[in-house]
Amino acid sequence: MRSRPSHRRTPHTHRRAAAVALAGVAALIATAVQSGSATAAPEQTPAAASKAKPGSESVRLTPAQRAELIRQANATKADTAEDLGLGAKEKLVVRDVLKDNDGTVHVRYERTYDGLPVLGGDLVVQGDSAGEADSVVKATRTAVTPATTTAKVPAAKAEQQALSAAKAEGADVDRAPRKVVWAAEGKPVVAYETVVGGLQHDGTPQELHVVTDATTGEQLYTWEAIQNGTGHTVYSGTVDLTTTQSGSSYNLTDGARGGHKTYNLNRGTSGTGTLFSGSDDVWGNGSASNAESAAADAHYGAALTWDYYKNVHGRSGIRGDGVGAYSRVHYGNNYVNAFWSDSCFCMTYGDGSGNANPLTAIDVAAHEMTHGLTSNTAGLNYSGESGGLNEATSDIFGSTVEFYANNSSDVGDYLIGEEIDINGDGTPLRYMDKPSKDGASKDAWYSGIGNIDVHYSSGPANHFFYLLSEGSGTKTINGVSYDSPTSDGLPVTGIGRAKAEKIWFRALTTKFTSTTNYASARTGTLAATGELYGTDSAEYKAVQDAWAGINVGTRSDGGGGGGTSYESTTDVTIPDAGAAVTSAISVTGRTGNAPSNLRVTVDIEHTWSGDLVVDLLAPDGTVYPLRSRTGGSADDIKETYTVNASSETANGTWRLRVQDQARYDTGYISGWSLTFP
């Protein structure tokens, strides 16, 4: 049993965040996660309740406007860290910034501890201006307080362990071990991060990150930074290309799109290659035997993807800074793949089996370029469930860019790899309507999905996007027949691809973090949908239903079990021995009174839970006691209470009220929900 400390802890002062927490920000409407479905990741705090109004979308920032917002965020990052309750040794590093048309600003930060990078410490803060902390999404809720920052294991041992983990041809250390704080899983510890190069089994370059506990020498985590995905190689016919004239010659430099360039590796596997140039402005002849044909496809695909993100989502370039990445074609010999690399800020394409089918089609370019976007926004770890979501994001936007292109030689579809015939039998590589048709991908979430290859664990997210866009059942789109089932056997009505792509992009750029899993992706897309269309909209209900259709959460009408839930996942700090605080949930769209078996699910992080008094407040102020100074020294309150609220009108603002009535221990309301059976 834990004894009480003999001294009082000094609670941290939250100047802005506490004020917002008490203001009763509009809450999400979301369904409870059903038994056997994906459950919320304990390390993630989605900004479920935001002050963004329905219809909020990101505005198109010029490079100068973006730079100014970044400057403002940098100028206030110390205050922001204090508002978020970060410790004295924790600092924020600005990574990205977005601004909505209602003025809301989203700033993405990395974190350091005592000068060390914190892997898994990333977060997104939302507020009225750069640095305002009205709500936050964190990759980890765990306090970043490692027991020590002193390494007991020599860096050389971590280096050898990393080389052993690589199992790659010609494995060598690209980047020597650097000391970090590992916070993406479990209790934060001091660790080494080593990057190992070499070649993967199919000839793809390797940038394997290996994290080693610097105290015990245990290998904690690995992930691959080279992010690849095979798409179909289909020529796009005769297209217009933006090029640059230099004297009497032309070259594949797109001055209208951040200076994007296309290079020829000429079967090599290293370096930048040679910039494509010629005496005329005609590129290729439509045959794979002509080196310029693949270059024309890659150049065209990169331009389409740039235009798509700028015109549909208001983002200028992968980093949002107006700077173009570059493309490399003719990588290796008989290389049947394509990949994105952060280290070169480039997309690279092989020529396929027999060097006859270059992987340079529209959706391949969009897929690889989107890996770059993900790396510079959510930074989804390329491993486990987050890796599946990373890969699915590239498939999703590979498909939407293909639809956006409206190219008669390569019509938009929800199939991946249907033209290149990688399988040798004319079948696509991946199917979004029913992923399991490829023989390896999964249609729905299950508890072990994070243990399979990310190209197959992407299946449920691809399936979710198809269901949200087009709905379940059979249909024909652009001449392609689809038949999409659901895991619960109930139908899903689609809202159209135009809305679905807006939802996924907003969730990716403002809600997802490096550790986002399927459950927290559901929460993030619901938050994004609420901001775009409202929490009582048909779109919001469709998102709930589409997730339920892949076994993540329950339906908007209670189908699949659990009832209809209304949820808040905004953190609210509980002052030590201080005044009571509340967290609000707005219930709308119901008729009559609340039920006699209203379920109140509470998630409170607090040491010594016996200090707390917890009540439910009805819209008219009636108090329903849930817990009063019970639990003793046990940490946290994660319980569901049943309340007879049949005398209360269902619609209105319900509040969870919590008060700490003793000294020394601290915590916060992590989230809570009301479930109407």
Q: Is 455 part of the annotated catalytic residue set?
A: yes
Buried b (16+ CB within 10 A) or exposed e, 124-150: bbbbeebbbbbbbbbbbebebebeebe
426 three-class SS: coil
Residue 59: pLDDT over 90: no
187 three-class SS: coil
Q: What is the pLDDT of residues 442-495, one digit of tens each?
A: 999 998 899 999 999 999 999 999 999 999 999 999 999 999 999 988 999 999
Structure confidence at residue 52 as a pLDDT band (50, 70, 90): low
Least confident of 109-113, 345-349, 637-641: 637-641
Cα–Cα nearest to 99, from 143, 137, 132 = 132
pLDDT average, residue stretch 288-310: 93
Res 223: pLDDT: 79
| Residue type present at position 387 | G
Structure confidence at residue 168 as a pLDDT band (50, 70, 90): low
Res 96: pLDDT: 92
Res 473: pLDDT: 95
Res 63: pLDDT: 84
CA triplet 663, 667, 672: central angle to 5 degrees? Answer: 130
Catalytic residue among 313, 367, 455, 463: 455
Cα–Cα nearest to 71, from 116, 111, 105, 119 = 105
Phi, psi of 543 (to 5 degrees): -60, -45
Res 76: pLDDT: 92
How far apart (Å, rounded) are the C-alpha atoms in residues 566 and 671? 11
Cα–Cα nearest to 185, from 119, 110, 112, 122 = 119
Q: Is 218 part of the annotated catalytic residue set?
A: no
- For residue 258, what are its two tokens? 């951040």
Mean pLDDT of the chain: 85
Res 51: pLDDT: 53
- For residue 166, what are its two tokens? 């690589």
pLDDT average, residue stretch 425-451: 91
pLDDT average, residue stretch 215-231: 73
Give burial (CB, 10 Å; 0-12/13-18/19+) of 246.
exposed
Res 134: pLDDT: 84
User: How many CA atoms, within 13 angstroms, populate the side-chain half-sphere of residue 577?
Assistant: 8
Residue 43: pLDDT over 50: no
Q: Which residue has the tokens 């410790």?
A: 87
Least confident of 194-203, 244-253, 531-540, 576-585: 194-203
- What is the model's pTM? 0.73
Task: Specify whether the CB–CB gap between 388 and 458 falls below 8 A.
Answer: yes
How far apart (Å, rounded) are the C-alpha atoms in residues 625 and 178? 51
pLDDT average, residue stretch 407-418: 88
Q: Running DSSP on this structure, what letter comes out for residue 147?
A: S
How far apart (Å, rounded) are the C-alpha atoms in residues 199 and 606? 47
Res 77: pLDDT: 93
Catalytic residue among 43, 207, 368, 419: 368
- For residue 414, what are its two tokens? 């929800």
Res 308: pLDDT: 96
Structure confidence at residue 2 as a pLDDT band (50, 70, 90): very low
Question: What DSSP line would sit under 632-646, residue for residue?
Answer: TT---EEEEEEE--T
Structure confidence at residue 5 as a pLDDT band (50, 70, 90): very low
Structure confidence at residue 652 as a pLDDT band (50, 70, 90): very high
Q: Running DSSP on this structure, what letter comes out for residue 550?
A: T
Percent with pLDDT over 70 in the chain: 88
